[in-house]
């Protein structure tokens, strides 16, 4: 994709000349002829803009003020860095300093040399690429830190963060949700009979079955050991039992096959609803846990709701 550049200048001939330079260099352009237009263009195109070339002297809102506003918006919206190069006929130290203080990344003297402009844009592109790589590797690290490596589902920390988020969604919009604790039955026996590797394979397979069955807006996480949490987002109270009983069956109806061995598996599921009362995550998890205990106490392989 060619870089998209916003060219801001109140002088038509300057703007045309810049556009000409830029199109020769293979860039696409957007235009603004004053500070306000620049801000408007930025608001409309901030998603796919790569660079702003900003004249300093303009009536009403000058280039410095326009860039200050743009930087403020970016900060409020937590947007990515967008390079800004100021263009001005003034060689005054105060203007050069002012440009950087206003949020500019570089300052070029008019008349603009196509060669210098192209070199400066290359420098900005390099920094933008570097930042993008950093953001990407941060995202990858975050992903790694929030995922349980054996099963590929959310780990406890990340599940609890999502639970917080779901609960505030429910509080704000009054959309009920369900939370379940889901624990494999007699899993110690599985390990003792088939070995720890087989136990690991069961955990991975069970997570996969549930993940396949979940709706996109629902969430599964591994809370620890052979215990999982499941959140149903925006669910009718009448449907809750049906959904979780389906998950129970998905686990129980076929044994997990590992290295030729057929391993029968069942799970107990303790469920609780949340409709937005002043209750915290800990209280909710505790209620689901109590239902889970009841399921274990009364025979396992069942949903208690």
Q: Does 305 bind Mg ion (CB under 5 A)?
A: no
Member of 64, 86, 159, 187 binding Mg ion (CB under 5 A): 187
Query: Which residue has tokens 């800004």?
Result: 84
Main-chain phi, psi angles of 77, to 5 degrees:
-95, 5
Closest CA to 148 of 197, 220, 99: 220
Q: Which is nearer to ligand GH3, 125 or 290 (CB)?
A: 290
Q: How far is the C-alpha of 182 from the C-alpha of 150, rounded, in Å?
A: 17
Choosing among ligand GH3, Mg ion, none, which partner's interface includes residue 10 (Cβ < 5 to 8 Å by kind)?
Mg ion
Residues that bind ligand GH3 (CB under 6 A): 150, 183-188, 191, 196, 199-200, 203, 225-226, 296, 300
CA 51 to chain centre: 24
Q: Pairing mode, if any, of strands 28-32 and 4-8?
A: parallel
> Shortest approach of ligand GH3 to residue 181 CB, angstroms?
11
Annotated catalytic residue within 37, 205, 226, 227: 226
> Shortest approach of ligand GH3 to residue 299 CB, angstroms?
11
> Shortest approach of ligand GH3 to residue 203 CB, angstroms?
6
Q: How far is the C-alpha of 231 from the C-alpha of 234, rounded, in Å?
A: 9
Q: Which is nearer to Mg ion, 171 or 209 (CB)?
A: 209
- Asked if 152 and 209 count as a contact pair (C-beta separation under 8 A), the reply is no
**Piece of the chain touching Mg ion by CB under 5 A; list 78-86, 90-98, 145-153, 179-187:** 179-187
Choosing among ligand GH3, Mg ion, none, which partner's interface includes residue 57 (Cβ < 5 to 8 Å by kind)?
Mg ion
**Piece of the chain touching Mg ion by CB under 5 A; list 49-57, 167-175, 214-222, 276-284:** 49-57
> Shortest approach of ligand GH3 to residue 197 CB, angstroms?
7
Burial label, 224 (beta-carbon count in 10 A; 0-12, 13-18, 19+): exposed
226 is catalytic: yes
Q: Does 218 bind Mg ion (CB under 5 A)?
A: no
Closest CA to 243 of 252, 230, 254: 230
Six-digit token string for 182:
């889901």
Active site residues per annotation: 226
């Amino acid at each position: 994709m060619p870089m998209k550049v916003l060219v801001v200048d109140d002088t038509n001939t300057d703007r045309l000349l810049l556009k000409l330079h830029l199109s020769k260099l293979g860039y696409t352009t957007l235009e603004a002829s004053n500070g306000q237009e620049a801000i408007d263009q930025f608001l409309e195109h901030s998603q796919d803009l790569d660079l702003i070339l900003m004249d300093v002297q303009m009536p009403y809102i000058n280039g410095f003020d326009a860039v200050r506003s743009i930087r403020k918006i970016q900060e409020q919206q937590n947007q990515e860095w967008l390079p800004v190069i100021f263009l001005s006929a003034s060689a005054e130290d105060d203007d050069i300093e002012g440009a950087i203080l206003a949020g500019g990344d570089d300052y070029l003297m008019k008349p603009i040399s196509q060669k210098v402009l192209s070199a400066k844009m290359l420098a900005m592109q390099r920094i933008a690429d570097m930042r993008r790589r950093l953001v990407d590797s941060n995202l990858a690290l975050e992903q790694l830190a929030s995922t349980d490596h054996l099963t590929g589902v959310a780990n406890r920390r990340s599940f609890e963060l999502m639970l917080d988020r779901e609960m505030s969604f429910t509080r704000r919009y009054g959309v009920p949700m369900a939370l379940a604790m889901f624990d494999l039955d007699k899993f110690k026996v599985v390990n003792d009979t088939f070995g720890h590797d087989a136990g690991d394979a069961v955990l991975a397979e069970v997570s996969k079955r549930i993940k396949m069955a979940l709706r996109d807006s629902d969430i599964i996480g591994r809370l620890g050991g052979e215990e999982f949490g499941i959140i149903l987002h925006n669910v009718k109270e009448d449907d809750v039992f049906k959904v979780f009983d389906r998950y129970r069956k998905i686990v129980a109806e076929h044994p997990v096959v590992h290295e030729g061995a057929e391993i029968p598996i069942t799970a107990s599921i303790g469920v609780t609803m949340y409709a937005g009362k002043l209750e915290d995550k800990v209280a909710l998890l505790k209620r689901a846990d109590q239902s889970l205990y009841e399921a274990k106490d009364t025979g396992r392989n069942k949903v208690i709701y």
